[in-house]
């Protein structure tokens, strides 16, 4: 048996088994380092069923006619969704799509209540919208960390025969079965929470700008569609980049749009939902010598794509930013875009994200514009108020007699 050199340059025994065992390990390592952004998911949730009541009679020495002693069934576990600030994608729901809570145990003799099922809490990113797949109703919009909402309620446990004892019916054999837990098909949609959204054609400098004004480090290259997923960056308007000094705001970097994106061209417009929550839109346009497109035509094209996606999105306050000022020698197109913005009464700025020219002025202008705009009000449904305290036992059917609702009597006279 001889020796050979593997792809890493190491000398190993010349055996097919060694080489075959080596390559799958590299593949798994590369897969582990790959991150995937998922902003849509469909899941099925099923709360636990309640336990059945018990039919039993006390049998004890020196206690004649002990009477009924059947205990109640335990309540089924409920399912909650909770906003987790440490998650930024719905990747955990890409392959695990069914979630079932534990059922309640059946009642037992000696008036023993069955054990209640454990609740199931599923963490979701902040900004997730939960929609009932069957009715289309929006159940909850998670806009604050720690917000918890019940999406499937566990079934109540059935009553044992001890509850049916009456002076005229002292040996009841009636009992109640546990109620079924709720089940739902849910659709989860993630909308990132940001103050400013960057839009524009591919390769106009959106990723370069966000890397310049924040601590975000997106992929940057000299070819279109480098950005394949949205990215967030925290910007400090009055301090150093990446530090929480003075006024701060969050910027969202979106993949590039092209003409016909609303019909599926390029990456489409599905990522535009991530700037529906923003208060301000920054439209970046390339006016450098490397681009042969008309900047005014670019502005109108992107505006048309925004309007095709949502009229409310196209009506948001907007700033126009001419990029790549360092690569612009012929400023005729730059001035034509400036005149066009002046006729539309749009704020206009010219920057170079590479050299930093005009970037500080743009950041302060974004902060000033956000100060003038009213913050978006996060309105919660009335039934979702303070759902974060649900786990403390304030829900009916959690195993305490004070929370148990009275069931219809089924005694047989």
Q: Which CATH architecture group holds 40-190?
A: Distorted Sandwich (2.70)
Q: Against a cut of 0.75, is the pTM above it?
A: no
Q: Which of 387, 288, 381 is nearest to 331 (CA)?
A: 288
Query: Given this model, what pLDDT does residue 33 score?
Result: 40
Query: Given this model, what pLDDT does residue 22 score?
Result: 41
**139 near 130, Cβ under 8 Å?**
yes
Q: Which of 229, 236, 243, 233 is nearest to 208 (CA)?
A: 233
CATH class of 196-372: alpha beta
Q: Which residues contact 205 (CB under 8 A, 6 or more apart)?
A: 284, 286, 323, 324, 353
What is the distance between the alpha carbons of residues 148 and 389, in angstroms, rounded to a whole number?
A: 8
What is the distance between the alpha carbons of residues 284 and 322, in angstroms, rounded to a whole number?
A: 6
- Which long-range contacts does 132-135 make (Cβ < 8 Å, 24+ apart)? 132/184, 132/185, 132/186, 132/187, 133/42, 133/184, 133/185, 133/186, 133/187, 134/184, 134/185
Query: Position of tokens 């590479």?
Result: 354
Sign of CA dihedral 201, 207, 213, 216: positive
Indicate the domain borders of the chain. 40-190, 196-372
Query: Position of tokens 């969704």?
Result: 81
Q: Mean pLDDT of residues grouped by 10 in the chain (413 residues)?
A: 62 54 38 58 94 91 85 95 88 89 93 93 91 92 91 94 90 92 93 85 86 80 68 76 67 81 66 82 88 87 86 88 86 88 90 88 90 62 39 35 37 35
What is the distance between the alpha carbons of residues 84 and 122, in angstroms, rounded to a whole number?
A: 9
Query: Given this model, what pLDDT does residue 226 score?
Result: 66
What is the distance between the alpha carbons of residues 320 and 346, in angstroms, rounded to a whole number?
A: 7
Query: Given this model, what pLDDT does residue 120 score?
Result: 95
Pair type for strands 79-84 and 148-152 = antiparallel
Q: Which of 171, 181, 75 is nearest to 395 (CA)?
A: 75
């Amino acid at each position: 048996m001889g020796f050979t050199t593997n792809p890493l340059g190491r000398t190993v025994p010349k055996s097919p088994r060694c080489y075959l065992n080596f390559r799958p390990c590299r593949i798994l390592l590369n897969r582990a380092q790959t991150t995937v952004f998922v902003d849509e998911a469909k899941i099925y949730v099923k709360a636990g069923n309640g336990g059945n009541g018990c039919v039993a009679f006390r049998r004890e020495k020196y206690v004649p006619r002990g009477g009924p002693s059947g205990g109640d069934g335990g309540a089924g576990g409920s399912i909650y969704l909770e906003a987790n600030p440490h998650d930024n994608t719905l990747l955990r729901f890409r392959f695990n799509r069914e979630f079932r809570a534990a059922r309640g145990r059946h009642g037992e003799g000696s008036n023993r209540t069955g054990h209640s099922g454990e609740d199931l809490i599923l963490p979701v990113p902040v900004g997730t919208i939960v929609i009932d797949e069957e009715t289309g109703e929006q159940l909850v919009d998670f806009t604050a960390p720690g917000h918890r909402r019940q999406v499937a309620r566990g079934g109540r446990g059935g009553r044992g025969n001890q509850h049916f004892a009456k002076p005229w019916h002292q040996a009841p054999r009636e009992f109640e079965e546990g109620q079924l837990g709720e089940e739902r098909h849910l659709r989860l949609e993630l909308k990132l929470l940001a103050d400013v959204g960057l839009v524009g054609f591919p390769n106009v400098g959106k990723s370069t700008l966000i890397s310049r004004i924040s601590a975000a480090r997106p992929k940057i290259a000299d070819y279109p569609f480098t950005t394949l997923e949205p990215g967030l960056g925290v910007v400090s308007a009055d301090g150093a980049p990446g530090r929480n000094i003075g006024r701060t705001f969050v910027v969202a970097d979106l993949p590039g749009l092209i003409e016909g994106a609303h019909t599926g061209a390029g990456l489409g417009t599905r990522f535009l939902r991530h700037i529906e929550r923003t208060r301000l839109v920054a439209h970046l346009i390339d006016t450098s010598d490397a681009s042969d497109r008309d900047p005014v035509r670019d502005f109108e094209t992107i505006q048309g794509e925004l309007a095709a996606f949502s009229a409310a999105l196209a009506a948001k306050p907007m700033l126009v930013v001419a990029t790549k000022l360092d690569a612009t020698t012929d400023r005729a197109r730059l001035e034509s875009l400036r005149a066009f913005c002046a006729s539309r009464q749009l704020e206009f700025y010219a920057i170079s994200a590479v050299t930093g020219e005009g970037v500080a002025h743009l950041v302060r202008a974004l902060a000033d514009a956000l100060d003038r705009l009213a913050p978006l009000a996060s309105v919660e449904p009335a039934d979702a108020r303070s759902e974060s305290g649900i786990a403390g036992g304030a829900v009916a059917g959690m195993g305490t007699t004070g929370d148990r609702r009275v069931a219809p009597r089924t005694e047989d006279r």
